[in-house]
C-alpha cells in the first residue's frame, strides 16, 4: 500500500549529556532552523531533565520543540527520584522518548511498563516517542521482525493517533556503534512496522503515525536513510550533540 508523505521529524536524544552551556547549541540550531526548513520538517531536542525548563524557554520563538527522555507511569506519589509526565509538560516539553533500548536493558523496562508510561504521557497531551528494535542476536536468528512486532503490540496504547504517538525503530546493535542496517533491511522493517501500526491503530491512524529510524545516523548517511519509504524522520543520539551535525542531518532530509 502506498503511503502518503508525512512531515519528517528529526529528533535529537542527548541522553545523559549536556550542561547549561549546551543550551547555546539549541540557540544555534534555532537560528539555523529557518522558515524554509521549518515548513519541510519538525525539529525536536530531548536534553537531560535538568535542562528541560531552560531549554523550552530558550527554544521559544525558534520553532524547535523540546522533549524529555523518560517519565514515570504514575501521575504523582511516593516515587523518590522519579518524574511524572505532567511535570515534564509543566517545563514546556511537548514530547517524551519512552522504551529506549538503554532503558529497556539497563532499567529492565518491559513492554507493559512502556505502554503505561505512554498512556501517562498521552494523558497530559505529550507525544510519546516509543522506541523498538532488535538485538544483534535476534537479527542473526531471523527474529528481528517478530521481536519488533511483539514490542509494538505490547508497548503502544491502542487509542494512539498521529498527534500523540511517534514510533522509533532503533536496532540495538546500531546504537552508538557506527553500524547501520542495509537500506533494504531498513525498508523491510519500516514496512513491517507500518503494517503493524495499521493493524493496532486502524488504517487511518496507522498510516499517519511517523516512524523514525535511529542508530548511528550521521550527516554522511542521513540522506540515504531518510529517503527510504516509511522512514518519516530520525532519532539521533551522538550526532545531535553538535548543532552543526544535527542541522546537517536536518538539511539532508529529502
Please give the Cα distance from 46 to 186 (Å, whole number): 24
Residue 195 makes CB contacts below 8 A (sequence gap 6+) with none
Give catalytic status of residue 95 as yes or no.
no
Element (H, E) at 130: strand 127-132
**Piece of the chain touching ligand PGA by CB under 6 A; list 26-34, 58-66, 159-167, 208-216:** 208-216
Q: Looking at 17, 176, 203, 244, which residue binds ligand PGA (CB under 6 A)?
A: 176
**Piece of the chain touching ligand PGA by CB under 6 A; list 47-55, 72-80, 116-124, 231-239:** 231-239
Using alpha carbons only, give the angle 238, 243, 248 rounded to the nearest 5 degrees.
85
Q: Is the dihedral of CA 221, 98, 127, 201 positive or negative?
A: positive
**Piece of the chain touching ligand PGA by CB under 6 A; list 137-145, 151-159, 170-178, 192-200:** 170-178
Give catalytic status of residue 204 as yes or no.
no
Q: Is 235 in the site for ligand PGA (CB under 6 A)?
A: yes
Q: Is 172 in the site for ligand PGA (CB under 6 A)?
A: no
Pick 73 or 217: Cβ nearer ligand PGA: 217
Please give the Cα distance from 100 to 79 (Å, whole number): 21
**Piece of the chain touching ligand PGA by CB under 6 A; list 148-156, 183-191, 199-207, 209-217:** 209-217
7: region left, alpha or beta (phi > 0 left; psi from -120 to 50 alpha):
beta
- Least separation, in Å, of the C-beta of 186 and ligand PGA? 14
Please give the Cα distance from 247 to 30 (Å, whole number): 10
Please give the Cα distance from 209 to 214 (Å, whole number): 16
Please give the Cα distance from 244 to 229 (Å, whole number): 26
Q: Is 238 in the site for ligand PGA (CB under 6 A)?
A: yes
Pick 103 or 194: Cβ nearer ligand PGA: 103
Please give the Cα distance from 15 to 103 (Å, whole number): 11
Q: Looking at 13, 58, 127, 164, which residue binds ligand PGA (CB under 6 A)?
A: 13
Q: Looking at 129, 237, 246, 252, which residue binds ligand PGA (CB under 6 A)?
A: 237
Q: Is 175 in the site for ligand PGA (CB under 6 A)?
A: yes
Of 72, 100, 102, 109, catalytic: 100
Instruction: Just list the catalytic residues.
Output: 100, 170
Chain residues binding ligand PGA by CB under 6 A are 13, 170, 175-176, 214-217, 235-239
Amino acid at each position: 500500500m502506498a503511503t502518503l508523505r508525512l512531515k519528517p521529524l528529526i529528533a535529537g536524544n542527548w541522553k545523559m549529556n549536556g550542561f547549561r552551556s549546551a543550551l547555546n547549541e539549541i540557540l544555534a540550531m534555532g537560528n539555523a532552523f529557518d522558515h524554509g526548513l521549518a515548513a519541510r520538517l519538525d525539529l525536536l531536542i530531548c536534553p537531560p531533565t535538568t535542562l528541560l525548563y531552560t531549554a523550552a524557554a530558550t527554544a521559544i520563538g525558534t520553532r524547535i520543540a523540546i522533549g524529555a527522555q523518560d517519565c514515570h507511569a504514575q501521575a504523582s506519589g511516593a516515587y523518590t527520584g522519579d518524574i511524572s509526565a505532567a511535570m515534564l509538560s509543566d517545563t514546556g516539553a511537548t514530547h517524551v522518548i519512552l522504551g529506549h533500548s538503554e532503558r529497556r536493558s539497563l532499567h529492565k523496562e518491559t513492554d507493559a511498563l512502556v505502554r503505561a508510561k505512554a498512556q501517562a504521557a498521552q494523558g497530559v497531551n505529550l507525544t510519546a516517542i516509543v522506541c523498538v528494535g532488535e538485538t544483534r542476536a535476534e537479527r542473526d536468528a531471523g527474529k528481528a521482525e517478530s521481536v519488533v512486532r511483539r514490542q509494538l503490540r505490547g508497548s503502544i496504547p491502542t487509542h494512539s493517533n498521529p498527534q500523540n504517538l511517534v514510533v522509533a525503530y532503533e536496532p540495538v546493535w546500531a546504537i552508538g556503534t557506527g553500524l547501520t542496517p542495509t537500506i533494504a533491511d531498513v525498508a523491510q522493517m519500516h514496512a513491517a512496522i507500518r503494517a503493524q501500526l495499521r493493524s493496532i491503530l486502524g488504517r487511518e491512524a496507522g498510516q499517519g503515525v511517523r516512524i523514525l529510524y535511529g542508530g548511528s545516523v550521521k550527516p554522511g548517511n542521513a540522506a540515504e536513510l531518510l529517503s527510504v519509504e516509511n522512514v518519516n524522520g530520525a532519532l539521533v543520539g551522538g550526532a545531535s550533540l553538535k548543532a552543526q551535525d544535527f542541522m546537517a542531518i536536518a538539511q539532508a532530509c529529502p
